């Protein structure tokens, strides 16, 4: 029927032209399919030992055709309130061997199976109008438009590093990889590194920033949950941080429920009973909830009863009671320059006379808190903590 239609409506010359166009279209389609197949990534490789030199050896993601593309089964996620790292944006992912889900825990890091690989890729939006080789990047907190259709547009971002947390039979291993200038590969740098940047605000005012990639020992110092047991564990993947929505394949769904659906999590209770931290920048939520969530993710991995800073008796996890251990009317354990000549960690109603915002507002070694993970001041975060303290009622007894 199709041939008769061609004969009746096309002259021989037109028919030949039509056939040529048809064959050309088919050829393009076939070549496109072959090209797509050739770009398909190899399955994720879990290395039970050793330290692969190149990030690509894990097959978690691939830089291809100007995009950073996640491999099959490598699932992105986000946190209600993220840890501050010099205004860097972060693409977080998790991968687990098929048939071995993590076990849910309400208040701690999930019980992840051996073979789990957690990745966190740090990047900045590029400053529009600047050459690709420029060190100028944009200081913005909104990441909502970065990761679209399961990939990251490399023309619009500057990749800095990808950190892996790998769960092996003998425990977790931290591996930092630094991306090359071409954004085609990241190389393992166990001793860490530095990246010179120009951090620009939206009005294009640039400030020099030395971005510091931590070494493996520094990674461990933050991820040790119990200083006595030397227990190493992830910080972000906890129920209260993950209990939020994320867009998967165009569908907005709760991250925890999505992990259950794909076989990465078991034991999840009714989602209404799952802990939920606030988004620190969401002004529709209470000031107290936002400030506590900020301190929880940025400080509580050290400042808890079992953490590296347990001797300070300053407990900043979300579940800590709002008393002396939270810093309210609490004098410092050790006096020194780190106090800023202030007498209490938190003096209700007076952030300008409180140690906590003083240290958060410093970028000087020996004064700043957190002491690792940043080289600049999170101005918006400091302002949040100041507003929180300013709104606190009560007063402290004078100290001699």
Same-domain pairing of 219 and 159: yes
CA distance 71 to 180: 20
The CA distances from residue 229 to 224, 225, 232, 233, in Å, are 9, 8, 9, 12
Q: Are 354 and 346 in contact (CB under 8 A)?
A: yes
The answer to whether position 273 is within a domain reads no
Report yes or no on 269 lying in a domain. Answer: no
Question: What is the distance between the alpha carbons of residues 94 and 73, in angstroms, rounded to a whole number?
Answer: 8
**Residues 41, 42, 46, CA angle at the centre, nearest 5°?**
125
The angle subtended at Cα 242 by Cα 236 and Cα 243, nearest 5°, is 150
User: 235 with 304, same domain?
Assistant: no
User: Angle at CA 303, nearest 5°, toward 301 and 304?
Assistant: 85
The reply to whether 395 falls in a domain is: no
Q: How far is CA 44 from the centre of its chain?
A: 20
Q: Tens digit of pLDDT per residue, the chain (400 long)?
A: 444 444 444 454 444 544 544 444 444 443 344 344 436 899 999 999 999 999 999 999 999 999 999 999 999 999 999 999 999 999 999 999 999 999 999 999 999 999 999 999 999 999 988 887 789 999 998 888 788 767 899 999 999 999 999 999 999 999 999 999 999 999 999 999 999 999 999 888 999 999 999 988 877 777 887 778 788 889 999 999 999 999 999 999 999 999 999 999 999 999 999 999 999 999 999 999 999 999 999 999 999 888 888 888 999 999 999 999 999 999 998 757 889 999 999 999 999 999 999 999 999 988 889 888 899 999 999 999 999 999 999 999 887 6
**Which residues form the domain of 335?**
279-390
| Whether 65 and 213 share a structural domain | yes
Q: Beta partners for 124?
A: 158
Residues 7 and 79 in one domain: no
Ramachandran class of 373: left when φ > 0, alpha when ψ lies in -120 to 50, beta otherwise: left
Q: Is residue 80 part of a domain?
A: yes
Structural domain count, the chain: 3
Asked, for residue 197, whether it belongs to a domain, the answer is yes
Query: Is the Cβ–Cβ distance between 372 and 221 less than 8 Å?
Result: yes
């Amino acid at each position: 029927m199709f041939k008769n239609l061609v004969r009746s409506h096309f002259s021989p010359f037109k028919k030949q032209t039509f056939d040529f166009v048809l064959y050309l279209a088919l050829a393009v389609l076939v070549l496109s399919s072959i090209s797509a197949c050739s770009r398909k990534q190899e399955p994720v490789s879990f290395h039970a030992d050793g330290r692969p030199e190149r990030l690509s050896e894990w097959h978690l993601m691939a830089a291809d055709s100007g995009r950073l593309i996640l491999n099959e089964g490598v699932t992105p996620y986000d946190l209600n309130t993220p840890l501050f790292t010099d205004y860097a944006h972060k693409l977080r992912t998790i991968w687990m061997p098929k048939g071995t889900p993590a076990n849910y825990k309400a208040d701690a890091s999930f019980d992840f199976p051996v073979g789990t690989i957690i990745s966190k890729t740090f990047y900045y939006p590029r400053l529009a109008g600047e050459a690709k080789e420029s060190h100028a990047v944009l200081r913005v907190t909104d990441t909502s438009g970065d990761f679209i259709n399961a990939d990251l547009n490399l023309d619009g971002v500057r990749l800095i590093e990808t950190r892996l947390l790998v769960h092996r039979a003998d425990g977790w291993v931290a591996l930092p990889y630094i991306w090359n200038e071409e954004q085609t590969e990241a190389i393992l740098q166990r001793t860490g590194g530095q990246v010179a940047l120009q951090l620009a605000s939206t009005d294009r005012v640039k400030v020099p920033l030395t971005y510091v990639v931590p070494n493996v020992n520094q990674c461990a110092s933050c991820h040790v949950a119990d200083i006595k047991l030397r227990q190493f564990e992830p910080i972000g993947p906890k129920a209260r941080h993950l209990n939020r929505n994320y867009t998967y394949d165009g569908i907005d769904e709760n991250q925890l429920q999505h992990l259950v659906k794909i076989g990465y999590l078991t034991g999840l209770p009714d989602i209404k009973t799952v802990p939920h931290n606030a988004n620190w920048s969401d002004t529709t939520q209470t000031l107290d909830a936002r400030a506590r969530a900020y301190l929880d993710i940025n400080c509580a991995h050290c400042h808890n009863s079992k953490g590296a800073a347990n001797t300070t008796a300053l407990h900043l996890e979300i579940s800590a009671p709002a008393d002396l251990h939270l810093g309210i009317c609490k004098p410092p354990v050790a006096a020194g320059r780190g106090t800023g000549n202030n007498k209490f960690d938190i003096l209700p109603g007076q952030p300008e006379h409180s140690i906590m915002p003083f240290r958060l507002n410093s970028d000087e070694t020996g004064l700043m808190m957190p002491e690792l993970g940043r080289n600049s001041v999170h101005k918006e975060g400091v302002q949040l903590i100041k507003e929180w303290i300013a709104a606190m009622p009560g007063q402290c007894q004078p100290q001699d």
